[in-house]
Amino acid sequence: MAPRSGLQFRIPPNSEATRRAVQCSAVNRCRFFLNIFADFRFADAAIEASDGTVYFSDASARFGFDRWFHDFFESGATGRLLRYDPRTGHTSVVLDHLGFANGVALPRDEASVVVCESSRFRCMKVWLKGEKAGQAETFIDKLPGCPDNIRLGSDGYFWIALIQMRSPWLDLITRWTLAKRVVATFPALVEWSKSTMKGAMVAQVSEGGDIVRVLDDSQGKVINFVTSVNEFNGDIFLGSLATNFIGKLSLAQVTQEQGAASERRFIPE
């Protein structure tokens, strides 16, 4: 969890921690995760609004982190976007029936909240203010890969990490029931499916949900399976569950025209 203070908190994976509150000297809001963590199968991403409200995703009601890939096969759409109100201590569902709910982000005006659906190649938006408050709509659809985490950039645009570029094979196992059953039946096929995720891709998206540019390395020569992207001081920093380093790419070296068509070299820090 990354609160507005800039501090980050890690929840130890032991049962004792889930039953007690962590005393945070600067920010106590993180402790709600520990008190109600048992209510969630796969709490994934979180973002804190300026008023202290925390929006977070519960990726799947059936599978935890160790079996996340099975959620793609089942496509049961059991993910949720939730909201925690620190004033009341109450957690409520903002949007449900999501296909592997993943990254969560707020725009600069915080008039809405965006959540990624990894298995549906799209992101949804729920309005928080104005006449549309409470209404959900598609923020961006038909992404060139599976969206993982999403972050707001300094220019008001969003950066989305795409953990896997779309391919005929990926479309097959996410769309056709028979293909899902065949792959899920044989553990070797599951592992082989994971091994095909070698590319690296991130997308910059406008506040209106239009793709500004896509940066990719189809071979994943330096980094692959990119799960997070953060922009800072003219660079983007890339995280991956498949590497032991943080990747860095200078945006000054990438023009908007070249970004959508050229492969870019991700430099490990």
Decide which of 120, 142, 164 is a domain's last residue.
Answer: 142
Q: In this structure, what CATH number is given to the domain that contains residue 73? A: 2.120.10.30
Read off the pLDDT of residues 125-144 as tens digits, 9 standing for 90 and up: 999 999 999 999 999 999 98
Split into its structural domains, the chain has a count of 2
Answer yes or no: do 41 and 58 share one domain: yes
The domain of 247 spans 144-269
Decide which of 142, 160, 179 is a domain's last residue.
Answer: 142
Decide which of 96, 116, 142 is a domain's last residue.
Answer: 142
Answer yes or no: do 211 and 186 share one domain: yes
Answer yes or no: do 126 and 168 share one domain: no
How far is Cα 202 from Cα 220, in angstroms, rounded to an integer? Answer: 12
Read off the pLDDT of residues 193-203 as tens digits, 9 standing for 90 and up: 555 667 789 99
Burial of 161 (0-12, 13-18, 19+ CB in 10 A): buried
Answer yes or no: do 46 and 132 share one domain: yes
Answer yes or no: do 149 and 217 share one domain: yes
How far is Cα 246 from Cα 241, in angstroms, rounded to an integer? Answer: 10
How many residues belong to the chain?
269
Q: What are phi and psi of 218, to 5 degrees?
A: -65, -20
Read off the pLDDT of residues 82-125 as tens digits, 9 standing for 90 and up: 999 999 989 999 999 998 899 999 999 999 999 999 888 999 99
